[in-house]
Structures are given as C-alpha cells and as structure tokens.
C-alpha cells in the first residue's frame, strides 16, 4: 500500500500508530488544543504561499470534497512542463507513495523545495518530512537544488511544544538564509538540505515496510506505551493503548 509523508512521520514515531490510522481511525481522540494548533498551522501555511510573489496552486477537489490527487499530479506535471516559477502543493507520486510540496520554486536549472512549519525551530520531525519529499521528488526525476524550511520568525513567550533542544536554536541561526515579512507576518527561511539528504536514507529503508502496515491483512504491531507516545507528537490513541494495556494486565493476574 502506498503511504503519504504524514503516514511516514507517524510510522517512524510508532508503527502501531500508523497501523491504527489505517485500520481503526475511529479510536483517535484529538485534544482540542492539538486541533487548534493544527488549524493555526494550516492558516500559517496558506499565508506563506505568497512569500515569493506570484504562485500557482495545484490543490483540486473531487465533488465529494476530498482532495483530487490525480488532478493535482497532472496539474503539477503541466506546470513543470510550462516552466512555472513557483508551484504550491506541487504533487508527486512514486509507486503510489505520495507527497504535496508546500512550495516548489525554480532556481537556475533546478528547483528548491520548501516546507512550511508554524514553529520557530527546525525540529527533527520536520527534517523527516523533508527527507520523505526529497526521496519522492528525486525518484520522480525532479532536479532538486536544495531543501529549506520556512519557519515562524515571530517572537513569542508561548512555549513551543516542538522545541526539542538548544542545539536546534543554534542550527536556526547558523542555517538561516533569509528573513521575510509579508502581510504583517515574519518568516525565516532555514537551509536544512544536508540533514534532509541524510534523512532520505532512513525514508528509503522504511517506506515499503510502512506501506505493508496499511494492508488489510496486516497484523497490529505489538508496541507498549512509553516515551515514544509523547515525542515528537502526543499520540491520539493513548487512551486506547492504555486501556488495552490494563486489560492485558488484568488477564494475566
Ligand atoms: S499510544 Fe503509544 S503505543 Fe499506542 S499507538 Fe500511540 S505511540 Fe503507539
């Protein structure tokens, strides 16, 4: 079964999480604060689309409101063929494994890949996300020159749940290549190409195994509750897994 970049990031955190996404999504409980953060992230992404000026977006929908991936893939190919400079949600597929690049920008003879995240620091899971995209685009024959993160450059007192180390803060300052202000929002662009290239190897190693977890006949991986249930993202199945653990313990007693 093909997987998306979201599937990959979730599978790398916990294979059982990916299995539950595919087989039992009704067991998810998304806390309201997490949903609010996701919505805010989507808004930030929409605003970042125009930071390089004019752009074309491939997003297409079916009559039932779901994303029309085939239309997005076809539109992306047409835009690449016509030499479009900035493509948002540029869609690519390799053996069905799919990604939509937030911003793909023409640079010289190739393209720069930009991933937008409403966070001030380049957390490791963002590099995983970029590594997945790099692999798919490279397999699709896209000449990639570099890969970068577009982050928030807002100064906030709010603790960012994705801040995972002081090392990251240092990396931002070292890799920060550009600061842009648009419509009152401050963005910073950070070059993480070296780390994203390295991450491609991890992606290539796991991508097909993760796909197998989505098959109808795949068995649920046996994974216990632990630190991985909180990092990098709090898992939406924690209540289900804790209840399952309690039942298993009672059955043994
Ligand atoms: S709660 Fe923990 S063990 Fe259960 S699916 Fe989530 S990450 Fe995996």
Q: Which residues is 63 bridged to in the sheet?
A: none
> What residue numbers bound the domain in which 204 lies?
30-218
Q: How many CA atoms lie within 13 A of 102 on its CB side?
A: 27
Report which DSSP code applies to 229: G
The answer to whether residue 19 sits within a structural domain is: no
Q: Separation of 14 CA from ligand 1 center, angstroms?
A: 6
CA–centroid distance, residue 28 to ligand 1 (Å):
11
Q: In 10 A of CB 229, how many CB atoms?
A: 19
pLDDT tens digit sequence for 183-230: 889 999 999 999 999 999 999 999 999 999 999 999 999 999 999 999
Beta carbon of 213 within 6 Å of any ligand 1 atom:
no
Choice between 253 and 152, residue whose per-residue pLDDT is larger:
152
Please indicate, yes or no, if residue 40 is contained in any of the structural domains. Answer: yes
pLDDT value at 170 more than 70: no
Is the entire prediction scored with pTM above 0.85?
A: yes
Specify if 21 maps to a domain: no
pLDDT value of residue 159: 46
Q: What are 109-144's pLDDT values in tens digits?
A: 999 999 999 999 889 999 999 999 999 999 999 999
**Buried-exposed string 44-60: b where 16+ CB fall within 10 A, e elsewhere:** bbebbbebbeebbbbeb
Angstrom distance (rounded) from CA 17 to CA 11: 6
Residue 65 covered by a domain: yes
Least confident of 62-66, 70-74, 160-164: 160-164
φ/ψ of residue 31, rounded to 5: -60, 145
Q: Where are the alpha helices (DSSP H) in 85-217?
A: 124-139, 166-175, 193-213
- Locate the ligand 1 atom nearest the alpha carbon of residue 13 and give its number: 7
Is residue 241 one of the residues assigned to a domain? no
- The predicted structure's pLDDT at residue 154: 80
Distance, C-alpha 4 to centroid of its chain: 9
Q: What is the tally of structural domains in the chain?
A: 1
Q: Is the pLDDT of residue 236 over 70?
A: yes
Ligand 1 mean position, distance from CA 153 (Å): 32
């Amino acid at each position: 079964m093909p997987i998306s970049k979201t599937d990959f990031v979730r599978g790398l955190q916990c294979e059982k999480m990916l299995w539950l996404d595919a087989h039992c999504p009704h067991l998810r409980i998304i806390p309201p604060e997490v949903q609010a953060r996701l919505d805010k992230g989507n808004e930030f992404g929409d605003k970042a689309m125009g930071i390089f000026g004019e752009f074309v977006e491939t997003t297409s929908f079916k009559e039932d409101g779901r994303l029309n991936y085939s239309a997005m893939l076809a539109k992306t190919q047409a835009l690449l063929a016509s030499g479009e400079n900035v493509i948002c949600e540029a869609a690519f597929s390799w053996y069905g494994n799919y990604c939509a690049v937030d911003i793909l920008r023409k640079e010289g003879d190739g393209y720069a890949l930009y991933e937008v995240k409403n966070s001030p620091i380049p957390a490791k899971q963002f590099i995983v996300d970029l590594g997945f995209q790099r692999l798919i685009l490279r397999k699709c024959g896209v000449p990639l020159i570099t890969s970068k993160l577009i982050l928030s450059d807002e100064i906030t007192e709010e603790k960012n749940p994705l801040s995972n180390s002081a090392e990251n803060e240092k990396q931002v300052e070292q890799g920060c290549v550009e600061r842009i202000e648009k419509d009152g929002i401050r963005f910073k662009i950070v070059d993480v190409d070296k780390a994203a290239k390295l991450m491609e190897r991890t992606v290539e190693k796991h991508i097909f195994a993760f796909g197998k977890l989505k098959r109808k006949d795949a068995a649920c991986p046996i994974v216990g509750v632990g630190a991985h249930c909180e990092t990098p993202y709090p898992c939406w199945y924690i209540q289900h897994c804790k209840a399952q653990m309690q039942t298993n313990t009672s059955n043994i007693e």
